[in-house]
Amino acid sequence: MKYVDEFRDHAKAQALIAEIARLVSRIETARQRPLHIMEVCGGHTHSIFRYGIEGMLPKEIELVHGPGCPVCVLPMGRIDDCIAIAERPGVVFTSFGDAMRVPGSKKSLLQAKADGADVRMVYSPIDALALAREDPDREVVFFAIGFETTMPSTALTVLQAERDGIRNFSVFCNHITIVPTIKAVLDSPDLHLDGFLGPGHVAMVIGTAPFEFIARSYGKPMVVAGFEPLDVLQSIWMVLKQIAEARCEIENQYARIVPEAGNTPALRAVSQVYELREFFEWRGLGSIDHSGIRFRQSYARFDAERKFAVANVKIADPKSCQCGEVLKGVIKPWQCKVFGTACTPEAPLGALMVSSEGACAAYYQYGGVRRDDAA
Amino acid sequence: MSLVAAARPRRLGRLHVPKVTLAHGGGGKAMKDLIDDVFVRAFDNPALAPLEDQARFDLALLTARGDRLAFTTDSYVVDPLFFPGGNIGKLAVYGTVNDLAVGGAVPLYLSCAVIIEEGLPVDLLRQVAQSMALAARDAGVEIVTGDTKVVDRGACDQLFITTAGVGVTRPGLELGAGRAQPGDTVLVNGVLGDHGAAILCARGDLALETPIESDCAPLYRLIAALLEAAPGTRFIRDATRGGVATVLNEIAQTSRVAIEIDEAQTPLREEVKGFCEILGLDPLYLANEGKIVAVVPSAQCEAALAALRADPLGRDACAIGRIGEGEPGRVTMRTTLGGRRIVDMLVGEQLPRIC
């Protein structure tokens, strides 16, 4: 496939791996301990497992799978809120596919659907708006999740609904922002990271400037990375090159998609519709200041939280669940007490086991070949 | 040659309404007219014509063709009923015929039970029945008994079909998921995932326009040719729901062997590749309706491939992997990039990723 196969080329991958090994041999630290590079984004985690990248890297490099899987960091309470909305008579509750399996305290959206709630999978918020248009007597609610990558599409959908005068459409907003979360990870005392692969599709929207603090204040290199396997390998090489040359910058490997300044019309739509929340609850990570967004007062009529007086249920993560430590990279997925026993993709305890972008599900499904070696 | 005693011809009833109603399930004249006009007329064979409660076969004629009876059943609930490359009727015949064929049996007879939602257009039902008749002729089987039920609106989704199939297996043929041995080769007869991709596209909610058609096809002749060319064949399975990945896992678990496949050798249509890229789906888990996975001893691999490729349904046949000596029960894939990953069973349905 044109413009895809080029980014999965075996010979080029081998050449990059050889260059990565050469750089690693120049880095003094790597002789004492492995270098920890965190890929922030779940899309990268997926690519790393899908192509078996981890097993191709020199042993001195350890990839830490970061908090950037929006499905994985949804707290149970929010899922319970979803189900409460979905089970109201007259509501059509729409969601992206992989959010439907996330467990709430009693059930998931898929189970709520089986119990009779009208839950439908959609591929875009515009599809949900179309349902509202077709069926003016039902209340259509869209379950909005995701980082800055998906925010513009829900914001633009709301603006469209406003223009078209559609009244039976609302959004249950669970959008989250990546920057405060990376900061929370960096502030975590039990963590040691040597560099980051930056979230390419978030940067496509917000640009690269918001990540500057990582280099400036925390002295860590970051390379904004694309999602094809050669993108990932080249970005790892770029992080290592910074380490080897004792540099510390925010570099952009994904320049074919990511403009340095981001996408101004998209950002304008987002800030027209949304504002920052004071704090937002993350699964495994707890409450993080300014890490979520909500509707501005002027768009309150599209806010499902206000329309349905959502209870904002708070449910503690299961005690045995170590999602937080995995998200922060403190432990590897298979080191969690319940990995593969009480927590499996069939019956996930923690959200990291649900989405294919979740580190635990990825390990369970695709298996770290290195994990076998270690075992 | 039919194995059924001929019966006297009888006058067939006619249906004069545009839609099926509950009256057509009531057991009276309306039901008889529906069965006659739609099904008996289309399937037209001596075993069905007398409309007894069962079809009757001469055992001696069956035992002349093999030493074991093969018996299978499957239900078809596909949405939409008509899709590029086929429809529920064609699927209901080929699917069950293929379930017999992959075990090495000669498919002979099918039953056909339909559950109809009231309000279904009679013309649509006729098209489905005619399609079944054509498919049966193509696959060399007869539809010899059946049943019709009509249910209230909402109690089923338009039309559900269940077919059961009977076939005969010749002596000496032993195929099984537990017979794979280290060193064996894993073959497929062509590009993967067409049916799954075609159905997802045909549902229309993806707003993706693709030329992908279902690969729905009868595989008996292809399989017979394969077994002739590679008599040591260990196992054949049609890679329907759950795709090739699921079949490979079954083999790995049942035979207690490791299987390694090579992504670069996995045949995929460009359109299916693109479709999977956009939606974040893995083509190894997409359903096929005209593809088999076969495990053959490596010494017979070339002969098997030649036999498959000689048939239009196996033109793109290739070896995708081998049975290895690694951890028993595990399927791994060598990726195009040169890495290695596990190919596990799917947990539920494949759900598209959000971004």
Exposure class string for B48-73: b at 16+ Cβ within 10 A, else e = bbbeeeebebeeeebeeebeeebebe
Q: Quote the minimal CA–CA distance from B279 to chain A in Å.
A: 9
**Through-space distance between the first and last CA atoms of chain A, rounded to whole angstroms:** 37
% pLDDT > 70, chain A: 97
pLDDT the model gives residue A71 = 84
Domain-terminating residue out of B169, B201, B225:
B169
Tell me the backbone φ, ψ of residue A33, rounded to 5 degrees: -155, 160
CA A339 distance to own-chain centroid: 20
- Specify the CATH number for the domain of residue B32: 3.30.1330.10
Do the chains contact at B342 and A56, CB–CB below 8 Å?
A: no
Per the domain annotation, does B16 fall within a domain? no
CB-CB neighbors (< 8 A) of A56 in chain B: 337-339
Looking at the fold, whether B55 and B164 belong to one and the same domain comes out as: yes
CB-CB neighbors (< 8 A) of A149 in chain B: 355
CA separation for the pair A159, A165 (Å, rounded) = 10
Burial (CB count <10 Å: 0-12, 13-18, 19+), residue B199: buried
The pLDDT confidence band at residue B354, using thresholds 50, 70 and 90, is low
The pLDDT confidence band at residue A371, using thresholds 50, 70 and 90, is very low
Do the chains contact at B355 and A98, CB–CB below 8 Å?
A: no
Looking at the fold, whether B127 and B229 belong to one and the same domain comes out as: no
Do the chains contact at B352 and A98, CB–CB below 8 Å?
A: yes
Tokens of A34: 């492995």
Three-state secondary-structure class, residue A143: strand
Do the chains contact at B355 and A99, CB–CB below 8 Å?
A: no
Domains of chain A: 5-69+210-251 (3.40.50.11750), 76-178+261-307 (3.40.50.11740), 323-364 (no CATH)
A181 versus B72: which is more confidently predicted?
A: B72
pLDDT the model gives residue B5 = 45
Average of pLDDT values for A237-266? 97
A356 in contact with B at a CB cutoff of 8 Å?
A: yes
CB-CB neighbors (< 8 A) of B339 in chain A: 51-56, 229, 369
Per the domain annotation, does B175 fall within a domain? no
A356 versus A330: which is more confidently predicted?
A: A330
Average of pLDDT values for A113-136? 95
Do the chains contact at A10 and B353, CB–CB below 8 Å?
A: no
Looking at the fold, whether B190 and B338 belong to one and the same domain comes out as: yes
Helix intervals (H) in B121-269? 122-139, 194-202, 220-229, 243-255
Looking at the fold, whether B155 and B220 belong to one and the same domain comes out as: no
Chain B residue with the nearest C-alpha to that of A95 = B354
Per the domain annotation, does B354 fall within a domain? no
CB-CB neighbors (< 8 A) of B333 in chain A: 52
pLDDT the model gives residue B45 = 85
Do the chains contact at A355 and B353, CB–CB below 8 Å?
A: yes
Q: Quote the minimal CA–CA distance from A369 to chain B in Å.
A: 7
CB < 8 Å & 24+ apart, contacts of B210-214: B210/B271, B210/B274, B210/B275, B211/B84, B211/B271, B212/B84, B212/B269, B212/B271, B212/B272, B212/B275, B213/B84, B213/B85, B213/B86, B214/B83, B214/B84, B214/B85, B214/B86, B214/B91, B214/B289, B214/B290
Q: Which one of B284, B341, B343 would you mutate to disrupt binding with A, by most A Cβ within 10 Å of its Cβ? A: B341
Per the domain annotation, does B312 fall within a domain? yes
Domain-terminating residue out of B134, B169, B204:
B169
CB-CB neighbors (< 8 A) of A114 in chain B: none
Tokens of A102: 């996330």
Looking at the fold, whether B217 and B338 belong to one and the same domain comes out as: yes
Per the domain annotation, does B143 fall within a domain? yes
**C-beta atoms surrounding A268 within 10 Å:** 12
Minimum-distance CB partner of B355 among A10, A43, A100: A43
CA separation for the pair B133, B39 (Å, rounded) = 9
Do the chains contact at B342 and A201, CB–CB below 8 Å?
A: no
Three-state secondary-structure class, residue A60: coil
Q: Quote the minimal CA–CA distance from B331 to chain A in Å.
A: 10
Interval A218-246: pLDDT, tens = 999 999 999 999 999 999 999 999 999 99
**Beta-strand relationship, A61-68 and A35-41:** parallel
Three-state secondary-structure class, residue A327: helix
Per the domain annotation, does B234 fall within a domain? yes
Distances (CA, A) of B47 to B122, B137, B321: 24, 15, 45
* Number of alpha helices (DSSP H) and beta strands (DSSP E) in chain B: 10, 13
Looking at the fold, whether B42 and B124 belong to one and the same domain comes out as: yes
Per the domain annotation, does B11 fall within a domain? no
Looking at the fold, whether B338 and B271 belong to one and the same domain comes out as: yes
CA separation for the pair B158, B118 (Å, rounded) = 8
Interhelix angle B122-139/B88-101, nearest 10 degrees: 30
Looking at the fold, whether B193 and B245 belong to one and the same domain comes out as: yes
CB-CB neighbors (< 8 A) of A47 in chain B: none
B178 versus A284: which is more confidently predicted?
A: B178
pLDDT the model gives residue A311 = 85
CA separation for the pair A322, A332 (Å, rounded) = 10
- pTM for the structure as a whole: 0.89
Label residue A312 left, alpha or beta by phi (over 0 means left) and psi (-120 to 50 means alpha): left
Total residue count of chain A as it appears in this document: 375
With a cut of 90, say whether residue A28 has pLDDT above it. yes
B320 versus A70: which is more confidently predicted?
A: B320
CB-CB neighbors (< 8 A) of A110 in chain B: 348
Looking at the fold, whether B283 and B214 belong to one and the same domain comes out as: yes
Number of domains composing chain B: 2
Tokens of A198: 């930056």
Average of pLDDT values for A10-15? 96
Interface of A with B in 105-124 (CB under 8 A): 110, 121-123
Nearest residue to B4 (alpha-carbon basis) of B66, B73, B52: B52
For this complex, say whether ipTM is above 0.90: no
CB-CB neighbors (< 8 A) of A70 in chain B: 354-355
The pLDDT confidence band at residue B268, using thresholds 50, 70 and 90, is very high
For B42-59, give the DSSP string: HH--TTTTT--SS----H
- Specify the CATH number for the domain of residue B312: 3.90.650.10
Do the chains contact at A71 and B337, CB–CB below 8 Å?
A: no
Domain-terminating residue out of B136, B169, B202:
B169
Per the domain annotation, does B29 fall within a domain? yes
Looking at the fold, whether B28 and B165 belong to one and the same domain comes out as: yes
Average of pLDDT values for A130-141? 97
CA separation for the pair A156, A159 (Å, rounded) = 5
Residue B156 structural domain? 22-169
Interval B305-323: pLDDT, tens = 999 999 999 999 999 999 9
Looking at the fold, whether B156 and B269 belong to one and the same domain comes out as: no
CB B163, CB B218: distance < 8 Å: no
Which of A213-217, B241-245, B339-343 is predicted least confidently?
B339-343
Q: Quote the minimal CA–CA distance from A344 to chain B in Å.
A: 9
Tokens of A131: 């349902």
Return mean pLDDT, chain A.
91
Looking at the fold, whether B333 and B223 belong to one and the same domain comes out as: yes
